[in-house]
Amino acid sequence: MVDLPRPHERPTAFDRMLIPVHRWIWRDADRRVQKLLRFGETETDGGRDILRAAEVTSDPLLRRLYLEHAIDEFRHGVLFRHRAAELLRASQSRSNIGFQGDWLAPGGHGLDDLQVDGESDQTMLAFLHLSEKAAASRFSVYRDVMQHDPPTRAIFEEILHDETFHMNYTFTQLARVEPQRHKRHLWRARLSRLWKAYLRLATGLAGILGSILLTIQYFILLPPFAWLAKRAARRENFGWTIVSPGRGDSLDRQY
């Protein structure tokens, strides 16, 4: 039996759990601008990769669908960038944007992980299906937490509609080109995404731990050296020091 995706993806339990974090991240106008700009970049890059997939596939139907898909992703990039520019003009934004939480709330797709050349249609479709599913899940959360910004919310709503279509067509096409083993391809792609998510999380945590350790070092290890340096400075004679004759003759040392 073919495991059909739901026509409208609901947020995953993980995304639902992070709703308060997403709400906090998106509440700040400057952070919103930066995230929209980054999303715009991710969508455009994803569109470029899918355009490449359209070039390399030998399946005429997939080529047509990939082309439509790529056009959608480019349009999403433009929508995000235009909205970011509007917000930027409205807020006369500063450049100090602080914590972005990208490892907790990355750009919708994860399409930035895509390596098109050398992929078969099956692995490509499995990867795209999961990426679009993740995007649909996240964008539905972003739309829901964006009550305070109706124009941005409308953009997420519009893009969510396209992502749901992308999620569904990639699944249907995967089941068409690989009717027997499409689930295996999906599981393999799922494991690969899980590994990349782990790496992203580990990198984020490593950044936080590194900052904490450096701060501890700054306040615990440096003060004794500062104290020793001050003590040594106090023992130094003030002003010029008379050097005894003959001490400056050596070329190997200063005195």
> Which of 166, 182, 185, 193 forms a contact with Fe ion (CB under 5 A)?
166
From 1-9, 41-49, 168-176, 180-188, span contacting Fe ion (CB under 5 A): 41-49
- Taking the C-alpha atoms of 230, 233, 235 and 236 in order, what is their torsion angle to the nearest 10 degrees? 180
Closer residue to Fe ion, CB minimum distance, 166 or 193: 166
CA dist 129 and 174 (Å) reads 9
- Closer of 15 and 163 to Fe ion (Cβ): 163
* Contact between 131 and 110 (Cβ < 8 Å): yes
**Quick one: tokens of 7?**
């026509």
User: What is the distance between the alpha carbons of residues 87 and 89, in angstroms, rounded to a whole number?
Assistant: 5
Q: Mark out the alpha helices in 146-245 (DSSP H runs).
A: 150-177, 182-220, 222-235
- Nearer to Fe ion by Cβ, of 107 and 185: the residue is 107
Distance in Å, CB of 67 to Fe ion, minimum: 13
What are phi and psi for residue 18, nearest 5 degrees?
-90, 10
Among 13, 208, 12, 194, which residue's Cα sits nearest to residue 101? 208
- The full length of the chain comes to 255
Taking residues 181 to 210 in sequence order and writing x for each that binds Fe ion by CB under 5 A, - otherwise, the string is: ------------------------------
129 binds Fe ion (CB under 5 A): no
Output the smallest distance, CB 186 to Fe ion, in A: 17
Size of the site for Fe ion (CB under 5 A): 6
The region of 93-101, 146-154, 165-173, 226-234 touching Fe ion under the rule CB under 5 A is 165-173
Among 76, 129, 133, 182, binds Fe ion (CB under 5 A): 76
Binding site for Fe ion (CB under 5 A): 43, 73, 76, 132, 163, 166
